[in-house]
Amino acid sequence: MPGDARPKHVDLEPGAAWPCAWKCRKRTYTHHHCAGENYCENHDPGAPEITACRGGACARFDGRVHVHDAAARGWVLPHIIALAEDRAVARRLETLRAIMTREDPRDRPTFDGLLRFLGRS
């Protein structure tokens, strides 16, 4: 689509590629990428691919954006780690958190992979 024309609802399905002229940061809800000061608690960043432009199109994304968000948002995994009474468990979760927030989504596990990891712990 030419120019800034875009559908009224731009929370796109995973993987949809759109021209960067749309300004990839606008393809999803503001609170998904913390563009505004009041959208993300503690300004926890969203997955980088959700707003990235690659090769002239908005970067593709899949369910691993949610893996990243579960580990990055202060009220999910970081909160669990902070409240863990068993500090050895907290350290294992912190290791998992580092894997879940890797920059490249291909380096992050899926939710199934997370469950397998937790099952081995």
Residue 6 is assigned to a structural domain of this protein: no
Q: Tell me the pLDDT tens digit for each residue of 76-121.
A: 899 999 999 999 999 999 999 999 999 999 999 999 998 888 888 6
Domain assignment of residue 45, yes or no: yes
Q: What is the extent of the structural domain holding 30?
A: 20-116
Residue 76 lies in a domain: yes
pLDDT at 117: 83
Q: 37-87 pLDDT, tens per residue?
A: 444 555 566 788 877 777 777 778 888 989 998 998 888 899 999 999 999
User: Does residue 5 sit within a domain?
Assistant: no
The answer to the question of residue 65 being in a domain is: yes
Length of the chain equals 121
Q: 6 exposed, middle or buried (CB, 10 Å; 0-12, 13-18, 19+)?
A: middle
In-domain check, residue 13: no
Give strand ranges (E) for the chain: 53-54, 57-58
- Letter string b/e over residues 13-23, b meaning 16 or more CB atoms within 10 A of that residue's CB: eeeebbebebe
Where is 82: in which H helix or E strand? helix 77-83
The pLDDT of 8-29, averaged and rounded, is 55
Say whether pTM exceeds 0.85: no
Count: domains in the chain = 1
Per the domain annotation, does 63 fall within a domain? Answer: yes
